[in-house]
Structure formats: C-alpha cells, structure tokens
Amino acid sequence: MTTETETVRRNKRSLQGLVVSDKMDKTIVVRVTRQVKHPRYRKYVRVSKKYMVHDESGACGIGDLVTIVESRPLSRKKRWSLRSVDRKAVG
C-alpha cells in the first residue's frame, strides 16, 4: 500500500436515536429524529428515519437511547453499528 491510500481516512458519521425494536438476533432498529425547516412555510418539522444497527452483544432494549456509527455493509439493510448505550430505558 502506498502512503496516499493509508492517509486518506474518512470520518464516520454518528447519530443518536431511540431503540424501537430488538426482536432480531444481533440487530436492533433505531429511530433517529431530526428537525428540518419546511422550504415554503419556514416551519420546523420533525422527520424520523429508522436504521438497522448491528448489536453484537445484545445489550440494548426497547426505549434505550443509543449512539450509532457508520460501518461497512453487514447485510442487505444493515450499515450501522452500535457505539454506546447512552441511557437505559426505565422499567
């Protein structure tokens, strides 16, 4: 490998969201909510998207607040990995 390919590293994106499903093996579904300004009405609207996330240890449950990070494709829909559990759900 040359030094050019070694020095070119990409910063991985990270997002924070709530776990909405943990029924799969080593996979959780995380809903990430963000606010965008409507182009015509200039009002902020909540937009949410669900991501399939790799959870190797199975540490997450429904309602947990987690941080996820971009990774290589692990399956057809899974392109994110669990970085940390920020807050456990009560109950």
Cβ atoms of 53 and 81 closer than 8 Å: yes
Question: Digits of tens for pLDDT over the chain (91 positions)?
Answer: 556 555 566 789 999 999 999 999 999 999 999 999 999 999 999 999 999 999 999 999 999 999 999 999 999 999 999 999 999 999 7
CA distance 49 to 2: 39
5 belongs to a structural domain: no
3 belongs to a structural domain: no
> What residues pair up with 38 in beta bridges, in sequence order?
none
Q: What is this structure's pTM? A: 0.84
19 belongs to a structural domain: yes
- The domain tally of the chain equals 1
22 belongs to a structural domain: yes
Give residue 14's domain range: 10-87
- Beta strands per DSSP E along the chain: 14-24, 27-37, 44-54, 65-70, 78-87
2 belongs to a structural domain: no
34 belongs to a structural domain: yes
CA distance 74 to 68: 14
- Residue range 33-52, pLDDT digits in tens: 999 999 999 999 999 999 99
CATH code: domain of residue 28: 2.40.50.140
